[in-house]
Structure 1
Amino acid sequence: MNDFTLEVAELTKTYNAGKPNEVRVLQGVSLSVKPGEVVGLVAPSGAGKSTLLHIAGLLDTPDTGTVTIGGTDMTNLSDRKRTAVRRGTVGFIYQFHHLLPEFTALENIVLPQLANGVTEKAAHARAMDLLGKVGIAERASHRPAALSGGEQQRVAFCRSLANEPALLLADEPTGNLDPDTSDQVFDALMTLVRDTGLAAVIATHNLELAARMDRQVRLTAGVLEMI
């Protein structure tokens, strides 16, 4: 039985290969993450962290190397199968919340569940439960424009976990927030992650936040190293 939710092995990725402006973004990157483990990915801008997260989450493909999720090699799956895995197994959080502005906080969390075949009643119950865990259940009927930046990002967290993924990938999830709000929102994210027991890779340039995760790795010039 495989003990890891996510395993990436010897990933390489080069943009503009063979051209004068060739950029080698990933150079033999390997990383394994267990269920219930939160890994902090520390990297400066342009170091390749977004590329690594996109490949790990099946949004992009490596030049070489493998991506294994839940013990299954995902590297050569068809686009249709990759989409199915992303929808049901992987949750994404970005620096900007990307909430649908015409829908309420509750509806933003319900919609991905309906698309995944969950009944409206069950989707509503899970959405309210998630909003309660991050402390904003009373804001469920508000649209994104009526929410603060911290509240918007908490809703985005809940939406990313709506379909009960096994793996969460977050790219600077508190990067747009002031320090105090960032700290509060990060606490809310960690509560969600701990309650669900999923595996998580959270990219951040904030070393204090990274230090609160189970372990940290640093990506520099396409090479991954333990901190």
Structure 2
Amino acid sequence: MSETVLRLEGLTKTYNSGRPNEVQVLRGSDLELRAGETVALVAPSGAGKSTLLHMAGLLDTPDRGRVEIGGADMAGRGDRARTAARRRDVGFVYQFHHLLPEFTAVENVVLPQLANGTSPAEAEARAMELLGRVGVAERAGHRPAALSGGEQQRVAFCRALANAPRLLLADEPTGNLDPETSDRVFAALMGLVADTGLSALIATHNHDLAARMDRVVHLDAGRITPAA
């Protein structure tokens, strides 16, 4: 049996607790992600997908519940330990690329590696390898403003995988692209995931893209349920 990379148990989250405008976003959500598995998280806007991903990636904490990454319980860990685990084990991709505009494509992929202690030569070699895998190596010296939307997002994928995480979390990673570009960019992402063997939890509205993953789950009324 493959290793469990991510386990969420009984996650609850309420915003504005005790106030008239209280919003209970998560109501005991459970999810398990195995090594090498790709899972689509499907839900309408406002259902709590981003909240769930932020908790899975240690950017936010639940009111109650448990988050495990690689079998390690993250509850009660201080900011420094959570930051170290996030940097080492988790890669993030968002709907908008959030590339640093003053740096080139390759520099955007190099920087997180330098922050993780990788040597400049090794970081650049890995960055060029990743950019080559998604077909944008020839654009490595261009800044984000000179790249198309699809190219920018592919660079963002490479940046997320620069430190070889075991878990990729993606929040509508192709939601800002036209259908044709979305399909091409998603194929590049799935190719990266397959090549590196990491696990991926990908939130999407696109049911066609979701069907291309190993498993589909829904977030409904604050709880995760398997696809029918």
Distance 2:198 2:156 in 1: 17
Which residue pairs with 2:66 in the alignment?
Answer: 66
Q: CA deviation at 1:2?
A: 8.1
Distance 2:204 2:224 in 1: 14
Distance 1:171 1:120 in 2: 29
- CA-to-partner distance for each residue in 1:79-128, whole Å, 9 max, x for gaps? 11101111111000000000000100000000110110001110011000
Which residue pairs with 2:203 in the alignment?
Answer: 203
1:184 aligns with 2:184: yes
Which residue pairs with 1:28 in the alignment?
Answer: 28
What is the SS of the residue equivalent to 1:177? Answer: coil
What is the SS of the residue equivalent to 1:65? Answer: strand
**Do the aligned partners of 2:101 and 2:145 also contact (CA within 8 Å) in 1?**
yes
Which residue pairs with 1:42 in the alignment?
Answer: 42
**Do the aligned partners of 2:2 and 2:34 also contact (CA within 8 Å) in 1?**
no
Which residue pairs with 1:219 in the alignment?
Answer: 219
Give me the TM-score of the superposition, normalised by structure 1.
Answer: 0.99
What is the SS of the residue equivalent to 2:4? Answer: coil
Distance 1:3 1:160 in 2: 21
Distance 2:73 2:204 in 1: 27
- CA-to-partner distance for each residue in 1:38-58, whole Å, 9 max, x for gaps? 000001000000000000000
Q: CA deviation at 1:21?
A: 1.0
Give the counterpart letter for 1:218 in structure 2.
H
Which residue pairs with 1:11 in the alignment?
Answer: 11
Measured on the aligned residues, the alpha-carbon RMSD in Å equals: 1.0
Distance 1:118 1:201 in 2: 26
Distance 1:115 1:15 in 2: 33
**What does 1:74-223 correspond to in 2, within 5 Å?**
74-223=74-223
Note closer, same or farther for the CA distance 1:2–1:190 as it changes in structure 2 (3 Å cut).
closer
Give me the TM-score of the superposition, normalised by structure 2.
Answer: 0.98
Distance 1:43 1:76 in 2: 29
Gaps of 5+ in 1: none
Q: Which runs of 4+ in 1 moved over 3 A?
A: none
**Do the aligned partners of 1:16 and 1:22 also contact (CA within 8 Å) in 2?**
yes
Distance 1:132 1:205 in 2: 28
Distance 1:169 1:42 in 2: 13
Name the count of aligned residue pairs: 227
What is the SS of the residue equivalent to 1:86? Answer: helix
- CA-to-partner distance for each residue in 1:151-174, whole Å, 9 max, x for gaps? 000000000000000000000000
**Do the aligned partners of 2:8 and 2:30 also contact (CA within 8 Å) in 1?**
yes
- CA-to-partner distance for each residue in 1:17-74, whole Å, 9 max, x for gaps? 1111111100110000011000000010000000000000000000000000001001
Q: CA deviation at 1:221?
A: 2.0
What is the SS of the residue equivalent to 2:46? Answer: coil
Identity %: 71
Distance 1:75 1:95 in 2: 28
What is the SS of the residue equivalent to 1:25? Answer: strand
Which residue pairs with 2:54 in the alignment?
Answer: 54
What is the SS of the residue equivalent to 1:5? Answer: strand
Give the counterpart letter for 1:64 in structure 2.
R
Q: CA deviation at 1:220?
A: 1.4
Distance 2:216 2:196 in 1: 21
Distance 2:147 2:3 in 1: 40
Gaps of 5+ in 2: none
